[in-house]
Amino acid sequence: MTNLFVLQLLNGVQLGVLLFLIAAGLTLVFGIMDVVNLAHGVLYMVGAYLIATFAALTGSFWWGLLLMFPAAIVVGLVLEVLVIRRLYARSHLDQVLATFGLVMIANEAVKIIWGVSPLSVPLPEIFSGSIPLMGPLQYPVYRIAIIAAGLGVALGLYVVVNHTRIGMLLRAGATNRTMVSALGIDIGKLFAIVFTLGGVLACFAGALVAPILSVDTGMGESVLILTFVVVVIGGIGSVKGAFFGAILVAVVDTVGGVFGPIWLRSVLDPSAAGQVGRMLAPMLVYILMAAILFAKPAGLFGGRG
Amino acid sequence: MAEATLSSARPARRPIAGRVRAALILFAIFAALPPVAAAIDDPFLVLIGTRILAYAIAALALDLILGYGAMVSFGHAAYLGFGTYAVAVLSSYGINDIFVQIAAAMGVSALFALITGAISLRTTGVYFIMITLAFGQMAYFFFISLSAYGGDDGYGLSQRSTVLGSDMLENDFTLYYATLIMLIALFWLCHRIVGSRFGRVLTGIRENRVRMEAIGYSPFRYQLTAFVISGCLTAVAGVFLANQAEFVSPAFISWHRSGELIVMVVLGGIGTLTGAIGGAVAVLLLEEVLGSLTEHWKLWFGLFLVLMVLYSPHGITGVFKKLGIGGSAK
């Protein structure tokens, strides 16, 4: 039982760091540019398709990952210049509609380019297999590598946001956009950088999970909604909130999904527990969100409502 | 935030009588569709028409809060779900009367709207959009977990709803006209709500929340009431949708559907009830036409949507006006 718990906890943390990579970009784009981007999940999907393509072309996961980054930057910049840039001054409703349109375009375009059948990406050699954790408990090396990579990016983002000039501008932009532009900062350039950075992080997350998930067009959708929940719980514009929100949501989702029915079985008879558990498990994170928002409408680390 | 930008993008108030006339013209066209379909021997038109009418009801209900209350609910497909599954669940227990099904759908929807609305309305702007989206997904996953009703795959209805014991809705024409009558009745109801003191307070909150508070209204209570009404009316659309398709499935109520409902309202011109109906017609016709031309119609629909938002802020109404044929859109 303890082993299962540790296993699910690790799975939760692994999903959490991935969610963080996606949510960080989304929350910065919201917080600084005030843009609702429904197409953010699309970037996660594109990251996975890009690495699948490049890994197949070069025959190596590592080359695939390396080539994914410049391609992701191009995708982010093109999206910003063609559509997102024109939405800064528009209402949230317009932003929702235009980016909703982008989701439809992207999903169909991916189907046209790569076909409807899911792609797979081979695990890199050195990350295959599992390592013993405690007692009989084994955990896949690759999942540990994902956790490490995610934590590494989180640390890097922390340093960039808190200890560099661009990070200072980001924080200032999130607090008071008008003041930053009044101080003579090229806000257009700053926005393009933020959006592209967010896009690259989402693509990176997609590339990381590609070897352990099947790469298909639905993958961006489910993660987008979870990411929204993360951002709302954490507080819009807060990278710290995105981190803690992501871990919290992912752990509740994975641990609750497995242990909810087990706990329910101690109060209900088995068949009823199974029924209720199956119903409640996928709703757990939304119930969590509702509870947190009921107490703190602006999220755990949020300033703006 | 969202409230301010929404209202500034809206054209100046026009006389309501003109819009009602436009609605009457639309209803007349709807009424004439089945005979035309029969004349050109294309019964499929009547089924598409029923679908359009059902979605028009949903768009009308959403416009009540989106257009008049500036509440961008991104989870309205959930109420379509309560409507469609009310038909499926009750019918599996042998309860087929449409009035009972509508009452059940509205009851569940009212409860869900009351709880989620009370939480969502503690926030505004982007938060409201995302929270309603999340609650919509919560309902979606709930319907997927209903394994007794097909889960992911959906559930075929054994029969359509009955009206006071009569199975008249089994006839496609009767179902079409029943849906049309419901649409007209709900249009009249929404029209009355919008024009009532309640509706004016709601519009007042949209325009200037602080001022309405200052003169003694509680925005939260008015907005929540409108939210609940809107949810209940959307559920009615779901009941008719289930009857049209004779099949219910979580796929009907994914967040894409919520997005499409918003698209209908905005394309038709937000804050005009007639526009919501027109928007539903336009969106579904566009889907049908694009769908018949290419397998990848979503690509073109998305492209249309992006271009529409970027270049025509006032929706289809705006395009008509630019072309100088805005007479009927008033």
Q: How far is B229 from chain A (nearest CA, A)?
A: 21
Residue A243, pLDDT score: 93
Separation of alpha carbons A205 and A214, rounded Å: 14
- Using alpha carbons, select from B116, B117, B115, B84 the residue that is nearest to residue B102: B84
Tokens 């197409």, located at residue: A39
Q: What is the ipTM of this complex?
A: 0.86
Tokens 């999340």, located at residue: B134
Give the model confidence (pLDDT) of A227-263 as tens digits. 999 998 998 878 889 999 999 999 999 988 888 777 8
Residue type, B22: A
State the sign of the Cα–Cα–Cα–Cα dihedral A152, A154, A155, A156. Answer: positive
Question: Stretch A49-58: mean pLDDT, rounded?
Answer: 93
Residue B199, pLDDT score: 92
Separation of alpha carbons A49 and B206, rounded Å: 43
Residue B15, pLDDT score: 54
Q: How confident is the model at residue B280 (pLDDT cuts 50, 70, 90)?
A: very high
Q: Is some CB atom of chain A closer than 8 A to the CB atom of B126?
A: yes
Q: How far is A297 from chain B (nearest CA, A)?
A: 6
Q: How confident is the model at residue B152 (pLDDT cuts 50, 70, 90)?
A: confident
Residue A35, pLDDT score: 87
Share of chain B above pLDDT 90, in %: 54
Q: Is some CB atom of chain A closer than 8 A to the CB atom of B293?
A: no
User: Are the Cβ atoms of B141 and A100 closer than 8 angstroms?
Assistant: no
Residue B326, pLDDT score: 43
Identify the bridge partners of residue A131 per DSSP, sorted by sequence position. A139
Give the model confidence (pLDDT) of B186-207 as tens digits. 999 999 999 999 999 999 998 8
User: Are the Cβ atoms of A36 and B122 closer than 8 angstroms?
Assistant: no
Q: Are B244 and B157 in contact (CB under 8 A)?
A: no
Range in A42-51, A85-94, A132-141, B200-209 the model is least confident about: A132-141
What does pLDDT average to over chain B? 87
Residue B322, pLDDT score: 61
Residue B328, pLDDT score: 40
Nearest CB partner across the interface for A112, out of B147, B296, B301: B296
The answer on pLDDT for A8 being more than 90 is no
User: Are the Cβ atoms of B310 and A282 closer than 8 angstroms?
Assistant: no
- Alpha-carbon distances, residue A18 vs A131, A149, A162, A203, B89 (angstroms): 21, 9, 21, 11, 38
Give the model confidence (pLDDT) of A192-201 as tens digits. 988 999 999 9
Q: How confident is the model at residue A44 (pLDDT cuts 50, 70, 90)?
A: very high
Residue B329, pLDDT score: 36
Nearest CB partner across the interface for A109, out of B126, B142, B299: B299
The answer on pLDDT for B13 being more than 70 is no
The answer on pLDDT for A272 being more than 90 is no
More confident residue, B329 or A244: A244
More confident residue, B327 or A8: A8
- Using alpha carbons, select from B203, B205, B230 the residue that is nearest to residue B217: B205
Residue A77, pLDDT score: 95
Separation of alpha carbons A131 and A143, rounded Å: 11
How many CB pairs below 8 A link A and B?
A: 142
Residue B4, pLDDT score: 43
Residue B145, pLDDT score: 85
Q: How far is B136 from chain A (nearest CA, A)?
A: 10
Q: Is some CB atom of chain A closer than 8 A to the CB atom of B138?
A: yes
Separation of alpha carbons A140 and A132, rounded Å: 9
User: Are the Cβ atoms of A97 and B309 closer than 8 angstroms?
Assistant: yes
Residues of B in contact with A31 (CB under 8 A): none
Q: How far is A210 from chain B (nearest CA, A)?
A: 24
The answer on pLDDT for A304 being more than 50 is no
User: Are the Cβ atoms of B126 and A30 closer than 8 angstroms?
Assistant: yes
Q: Which of B138, B147, B300, B304 is most worth mutating to test chain A (most A CB atoms within 10 A of its CB)?
A: B138
Separation of alpha carbons A125 and B10, rounded Å: 59
Give the model confidence (pLDDT) of B219-242 as tens digits. 999 999 999 999 999 999 999 999
Question: Stretch A60-77: mean pLDDT, rounded?
Answer: 93
Q: Provide the residue count of chain B.
A: 330
Residues of A in contact with B6 (CB under 8 A): 91, 93
Q: How confident is the model at residue A269 (pLDDT cuts 50, 70, 90)?
A: confident
Residue B316, pLDDT score: 59
Question: Stretch B8-28: mean pLDDT, rounded?
Answer: 70
Q: Name the token pair of A272.
A: 């009823």
Share of chain B above pLDDT 70, in %: 89
Q: Is some CB atom of chain A closer than 8 A to the CB atom of B113?
A: no
Range in B76-80, B116-120, B323-327 the model is least confident about: B323-327
| Residues 228 through 267 of chain B touching chain A, CB cutoff 8 Å | 254-256, 259, 262-263, 266
Residues of A in contact with B283 (CB under 8 A): none
Q: Are A200 and A73 in contact (CB under 8 A)?
A: yes
Residue B16, pLDDT score: 57
The answer on pLDDT for B318 being more than 90 is no
- Using alpha carbons, select from B159, B105, B134, B149 the residue that is nearest to residue B250: B149
Q: Which of A108, A221, A253 is most worth mutating to test chain B (most B CB atoms within 10 A of its CB)?
A: A108
User: Are the Cβ atoms of B255 and A221 closer than 8 angstroms?
Assistant: yes
Residue B289, pLDDT score: 92
Q: How confident is the model at residue B330 (pLDDT cuts 50, 70, 90)?
A: very low
Please state the pTM of the whole predicted model. Answer: 0.88
Residue A65, pLDDT score: 92
Residue type, A92: H
Question: Stretch B163-176: mean pLDDT, rounded?
Answer: 87
Print the SS3 string covering B234-279. Answer: HHHHHHHHHHHHCEECHHHHCHHHHHHHHHHHHHHCCCCHHHHHHH
Give the model confidence (pLDDT) of A143-179 as tens digits. 999 999 999 999 998 898 888 888 888 778 777 777 8
- Using alpha carbons, select from A258, A273, A250 the residue that is nearest to residue A150: A250
Separation of alpha carbons B42 and B34, rounded Å: 9
- Using alpha carbons, select from B156, B169, B166 the residue that is nearest to residue B92: B156
The answer on pLDDT for B1 being more than 60 is no
A87: Cβ–Cβ under 8 A, 6 or more apart, which residues? A35, A94, A95, A98, A99, B309
Question: Stretch A107-126: mean pLDDT, rounded?
Answer: 88
Nearest CB partner across the interface for B299, out of A105, A229, A297: A105
Q: How confident is the model at residue B55 (pLDDT cuts 50, 70, 90)?
A: very high
Q: How confident is the model at residue B3 (pLDDT cuts 50, 70, 90)?
A: very low
Q: How confident is the model at residue B151 (pLDDT cuts 50, 70, 90)?
A: confident
Q: How far is A235 from chain B (nearest CA, A)?
A: 9
Separation of alpha carbons A204 and A95, rounded Å: 24
